Amino acid sequence: MFDEQQYDVVVIGGGISGLSAAIRLSGAGKKVLLLEAQTDLGGKIRTSNIMGVTVEEGPDELITGYKKFDEMLKLTDTYNNLISPETSNFLIYSRNRLRKFPESLVTGVPSFNLKDIREFVTSGLLSPKAYFRVMIEPLIKLNKLESDISIKDLFEKKFGSEFTRNVVDPLFGGIMGADVSIISSRSYIPYIYRIVEQKKSVSLYFSRRRTNQHFGISSTPTGLNGIVQSFKKYAEGIGVKIVTGHAVDSISNNNGSWIVMVGSIGIKCKRVLLAVPSYIAAKLVHNVDKGLESLLSSIKYSEITVINSVYTADSVKLHGKFSGFLVPSYSGYKLRGCTLMSRKWGYAHMEDHELVRCFITRDSGKSEEYYIQQTAKELIQMGVTKGVPQKSQVKIWDAALPIYTVGHAELIQKINQTIPSNMYLAGASYNGVGIASSGISGIEAAERILSIN
Ligand SMILES: Cc1cc2nc3c(=O)[nH]c(=O)nc-3n(C[C@H](O)[C@H](O)[C@H](O)COP(=O)(O)OP(=O)(O)OC[C@H]3O[C@@H](n4cnc5c(N)ncnc54)[C@H](O)[C@@H]3O)c2cc1C
């Protein structure tokens, strides 16, 4: 299993952050071992198959446009293979029905360009009074932000409660599987927080400059696992030793070196990089530093259930080129979002059938059958489908996405001050939850290691 038991760096975790770190390190000449607990690499990226069609049980979108991660995609020969969605327009459930989500609102902030105002005001997302409240945002001066505040507080103060409830809650909270009243605006939407911090109008800022302009949505012809496979092939090609199906049990320090324990085998390395979710990193550092363990275990994760269902094409009543829809938590529905995968992605096209992927709020203790039935029932109530799906598959994520609660940035600062030298952290738990941000955190951790040698 392990040819040798001594490495320059042991990377623990073969998700996108661990793979990116291992590639960067090995490319710079380090002898790297990557250890993954599961039999497959990829972590949250989990592409599978239902009735012969490719389905995503975890993420389905890679956001391109982040320079460091784009470079990694190019290096691994992934970039040229990327595909774009066939449609990215989506709907939102608001005021008792599904309505088109204005394109200009995708950052969460209304733009005051004439064309955008027209689209927003005619969308029917808000009551006339709430539209008025949004429009006066440039006049709302907040006191200087002394510290982090929640997304809910920030938007309520700037744009009013109805906008926050109907737009911000499903857009940020729904996707994260968490309540916007606890999510940090400073860590989760820093591009908005910074403008408010400078006491400027967010709408006017976004009217001049749309921050999403250079970002794109992508996947590969075989789904997101295509990225994992290209990274794996490239990593092995440059000499990364990858061992899957073996979980690391603990780490300890031995005269300035780390001993990484996998069962009864101890692997010695100068540096160890933990590219696992924070609650797992916490357990791994138990013998190293209890203070660090406690800081890491204070980062909470959301629970998300994903249901992929195949319907006959004539059972789907929603027409038009929409990639799916979002549902706010106040609606009374358990559904939080739905992607019409066979309309969005070329790889999910089906003859006479549609692949529908839903996110539904976790109800602890409920069976997979419950989630299938509840989803099918709510899709009918919302006028999206008629009848039952031909086949469904459920993936329950007990720890789906890290929740960056208010004060997250200070917590990360403390973690960075506490972590011993020669130990590094990477992954979604710290500075960005998406695939690209997680990859970048792996690359940057690798660069910190390289900078001291
Ligand atoms: C349902 C869902 C939908 C999402 N949608 C999107 C999306 O559309 N776009 C987007 O950009 N992001 C999305 N995300 C977020 C994104 O997928 C993740 O944040 C990102 O992939 C995390 O990568 P990571 O490397 O940090 O961690 P992970 O993918 O969690 O990888 C960590 C790895 O460590 C391994 N491991 C754990 N313990 C041990 C151990 N003891 N020893 C060895 N290995 C261990 C795990 O098996 C895993 O492979 C979504 C996430 C979920 C759950």
**CATH number of the domain that 342 lies in?**
3.90.660.20
Q: 296 and 241 share a domain? A: yes
Question: Ligand 1 centroid to 333 CA: how many Å?
Answer: 27
Q: 421 and 278 share a domain? A: yes
Return the ligand 1 atom nearest residue 400 CA: 53
51 occurs within a structural domain = no
CA distance 235 to 225: 15
Question: Ligand 1 centroid to 228 CA: how many Å?
Answer: 12
96 occurs within a structural domain = no
The answer to whether the CB of 218 falls within 8 A of the CB of 62 is yes
Per-residue pLDDT of the chain (453 residues; tens, 9 = 90+): 666 678 999 999 999 999 999 999 999 999 999 999 999 999 999 999 998 999 999 999 999 999 999 999 999 999 999 999 999 889 999 999 999 999 888 888 888 888 888 999 999 999 999 999 999 999 988 877 778 999 999 999 999 999 999 999 999 998 788 999 999 999 999 989 999 988 889 998 888 766 555 789 999 999 999 999 999 999 999 999 999 999 999 999 988 899 999 999 999 999 999 999 999 999 999 999 999 999 999 999 999 999 999 999 999 998 888 899 999 999 999 999 999 999 999 999 998 999 999 999 888 889 999 999 999 999 999 999 998 999 999 999 999 999 999 999 999 999 999 999 999 999 999 999 999 999 999 999 999 999 986
100 occurs within a structural domain = no
Q: 274 and 416 share a domain? A: yes
Question: Ligand 1 centroid to 416 CA: how many Å?
Answer: 21
Q: 377 and 253 share a domain? A: no
Q: 294 and 229 share a domain? A: yes
Question: Ligand 1 centroid to 284 CA: how many Å?
Answer: 17
**Which 8-state DSSP code applies to residue 28?**
T
Q: How many CA atoms lie within 13 A of 340 on its CB side?
A: 26
Which residue, chain included where needed, has tokens 């609660």?
Answer: 405
Q: 112 and 198 share a domain? A: yes
Question: Ligand 1 centroid to 227 CA: how many Å?
Answer: 13
The answer to whether the CB of 138 falls within 8 A of the CB of 203 is yes
271 occurs within a structural domain = yes
Instruction: Please indicate whether residue 163, judged by its CB atom, sits closer than 6 Å to ligand 1.
Output: no
Q: 287 and 224 share a domain? A: yes
Return the ligand 1 atom nearest residue 44 CA: 29
Instruction: Please indicate whether residue 38, judged by its CB atom, sits closer than 6 Å to ligand 1.
Output: yes
Q: 278 and 418 share a domain? A: yes
Based on the structure, what is the number of domains in the chain?
Answer: 3
Token output for 38? 């599961």
Q: 296 and 308 share a domain? A: no
Question: Ligand 1 centroid to 263 CA: how many Å?
Answer: 23
CATH code, 187: 1.10.3110.10
91 occurs within a structural domain = no
Give me the chain's average pLDDT, please.
Answer: 94
354 occurs within a structural domain = yes
Residue to substitute in 44, 220, 403 for testing ligand 1 pocket (most ligand atoms within 8 angstroms of CB):
44
Q: 242 and 317 share a domain? A: no
Please choose, from the candidates 405, 300, 389, 301, the residue with its C-alpha nearest in 3D space to the C-alpha of residue 338. 389
Question: Ligand 1 centroid to 13 CA: how many Å?
Answer: 9
DSSP codes, 186-244: HHH-HHHHHHHHTT--HHHHHHH--TTTT-EEEB-TT-THHHHHHHHHHHHHTT-EEEE
52 occurs within a structural domain = no
Tallying the residues shown for the chain, one arrives at 453
Predicted TM-score (pTM) of the model is: 0.96
Q: 200 and 112 share a domain? A: yes
Return the ligand 1 atom nearest residue 442 CA: 25
CA distance 436 to 428: 9
1 occurs within a structural domain = no
Domain, as residue range, for 38: 6-45+62-78+220-300+403-451
Q: 296 and 439 share a domain? A: yes
Residue to substitute in 276, 341, 441, 443 for testing ligand 1 pocket (most ligand atoms within 8 angstroms of CB):
276
